[in-house]
Amino acid sequence: METIIEVNQLQKKFQNDYAIQDVSFKIQKGEIFGFLGPSGSGKTTTIKILTAQMNPTSGEVKVFNTETSKLKSSEARSRFGILSDNSGLYDRLTVEENLTLYSKIYNLEENSVKLALGFVSLYDERKKRISALSKGMKQRVMLARTILHQPELLFLDEPTSALDPVNKFHIYEGLRRLNERGTTIFLTTHDMTEADTLCDRIAFLNKGRICAIGTPNELKQQFADDTLTVELKNGQEEIISKGTEDANKMFEWMQGNLVERVYTNEPSLGEIFVQVTGRELL
């Protein structure tokens, strides 16, 4: 499996404070990797370092097996796309005119705008001016602009922050289609449901440090307690352990055809985050 991003002992210091401390991880080609944490945990700083917008204080950072200091050429930058909170859209132009302008900058084929709008389900809105769009639709236009040149690697910094469920759905669908096409996605978010929905692996970031990393299922299993919840047909719920004594209870309930449903007591990603960091999500 090809490694797209490799970070070893990354640190970033601003004056006397560390925004990033001893961060290490690898991302393989085709992964959707979630970088999760509350505001101020260092997510945006990490993206700026990975995209050569900011230099690290120390540590080794490689993207496409190349040091980030060598990623400032137009050729290197054409291999990735960045979606942040800086819109860069022209309010007086239509959706289509905005994207056409960027497609000419990239010297793209004529159908690139149509394809990008299809990915975010905005083709029918292409004649609307940016000034007439909702925040959610603007966010989808920004995503379309980010993927116009079909980058190999996509950096998304809080792409659905404060969006309604309908616009989130359209963005999720577009990201899944991009990923199926082979695009590697680095996603920062403090939305744990979003991470659980989209990501192959996630890292929890707190105060500039990674405190847990793995697939959503691996983390849930790692932090699950050793109990099961049994729903009985009379509406009663019983929490049992996996030991011999409670196994006998379970056997008796099943013999009597009393069991409606059984499920493990795995924590949500949000509950895991609070447990490992001691912080509430903001």
User: How much is the pLDDT for 35?
Assistant: 94
Every domain of the chain and the residues it spans: 3-220, 225-265
User: Which is nearest to 10 in space by CA: 64, 65, 47, 39?
Assistant: 47
63: tokens are 């993207």
User: How much is the pLDDT for 217?
Assistant: 92
- The CA dihedral of 26, 31, 36, 41, to the nearest 10 degrees, is 40
Q: pLDDT per position in the chain (282 positions), as tens?
A: 799 999 999 999 999 899 999 999 999 999 999 999 888 889 999 999 999 999 999 999 999 999 998 888 888 888 999 987 666 899 999 999 999 999 998 889 989 999 999 888 899 999 999 999 998 899 899 999 999 999 999 999 888 877 888 888 888 988 998 999 999 999 998 888 899 999 999 999 988 999 999 999 999 988 887 788 888 989 888 888 866 678 888 888 888 898 888 877 788 898 898 888 776 655
Q: How far apart are CA 199 and CA 78, in angstroms?
A: 24
Gap between the terminal Cα atoms of the chain: 35
Q: What CATH code is assigned to 3-220? A: 3.40.50.300
User: How much is the pLDDT for 88?
Assistant: 80
Contact 41, 20 (CB under 8 A): no
Contact 76, 70 (CB under 8 A): yes
User: How much is the pLDDT for 170?
Assistant: 85
User: How much is the pLDDT for 244?
Assistant: 65
Contact 277, 206 (CB under 8 A): yes
User: How much is the pLDDT for 279?
Assistant: 62
Torsion sign, CA atoms 162, 168, 171, 177:
positive
Model pTM score: 0.85
Contact 183, 4 (CB under 8 A): no
Give strand pairing partners of 28: 3
